[in-house]
Amino acid sequence: MRKTLIWGSAVLISAGTFYFNRESGILLVASLIFILSFVTERDKIWAWVPALTISWLWVYAAKGIYSGYNIFQYSFYGVSLFPIAAWPTLLMALYFLVLTRISGSNRLLQWLKFSVSYSICIILIEYLGYNFAGVHLDSGTVYAGWPILNIFHCPWWMQAAYFLNGIIFCGIIAFFSDKKSTWNYIGNYLRQKLSAAAD
């Protein structure tokens, strides 16, 4: 109940801010998800490390494409703040809201289910963002995008990376989601190596 009240209040505040200023709303959402995860999702905060690493490496690699958006003006060293904040926030929100509800009999199956869920979510978010919120990359005007859905107005390699980023993140989450098995496996492996080295 407490978690629902905290996150519900954050959603209302963010939605109100987004209504009046989309850029401030997105940055507020990213900040609140980051801060509230340390309050309500302490057992999952480790996932910020891969989320931030994957996201920021990707944004750095594609910084030329991310130089501007039609409705987002804030930037950091020539890169729009929108992808810098949105990518890790999207990955973590997916983890908190969707992936924790998916189970699998083994890590590979769980990774597959996570990846399918992520792919559906990224298509849905891209559709809503482009067609309803009006979020357009300045450099995307030269790309036709996907037919019918009118999304992913960017080069093919960027479209592939949109999916690959999430699939890599989902693999990390799937591997570390069964903490008991994972940490036991790593612990036993290290003990064996250390005892072999001591002999």
Q: How far apart are CA 18 and CA 133, in angstroms?
A: 10
Average pLDDT score, the chain: 84
Q: How far apart are CA 39 and CA 137, in angstroms?
A: 34
The predicted-structure confidence for 104-135, as pLDDT tens digits, reads as follows 778 888 899 999 999 999 999 999 988 988 88
Q: Are 135 and 109 in contact (CB under 8 A)?
A: no
Q: Which residue has the tokens 């963010």?
A: 14
Beta bridge partner(s), residue 69:
137
State the pLDDT at residue 113.
Answer: 92
Task: Compute the average pLDDT of residues 37-45.
Answer: 83
Both tokens assigned to 180: 């008991």
* Full DSSP string of 157-179: HHHHHHHHHHHHHHHHHHHHHSH
Q: How far apart are CA 90 and CA 99, in angstroms?
A: 12
With a CB cutoff of 8 Å and minimum separation 6, the contacts of 118 are: 94, 163, 166, 167, 169, 170
Task: Compute the average pLDDT of residues 146-151.
Answer: 94
- Residue ranges per domain, the chain? 46-198
Residue % of the chain over a pLDDT of 70 = 93
Helices 48-61/156-177 angle, 10° precision? 170
**C-alpha distances out from residue 126 to 1, 34, 35, 39, 145, Å:** 31, 22, 25, 29, 11
Q: Which residue has the tokens 């993140």?
A: 169
The pLDDT of residue 186 is above 80:
no
The pLDDT of residue 90 is above 60:
yes
Q: Say which DSSP state 21 is in.
A: -
State the pLDDT at residue 134.
Answer: 84
Residue 26's pLDDT band, with cuts at 50, 70 and 90, is confident
Beta bridge partner(s), residue 80:
75
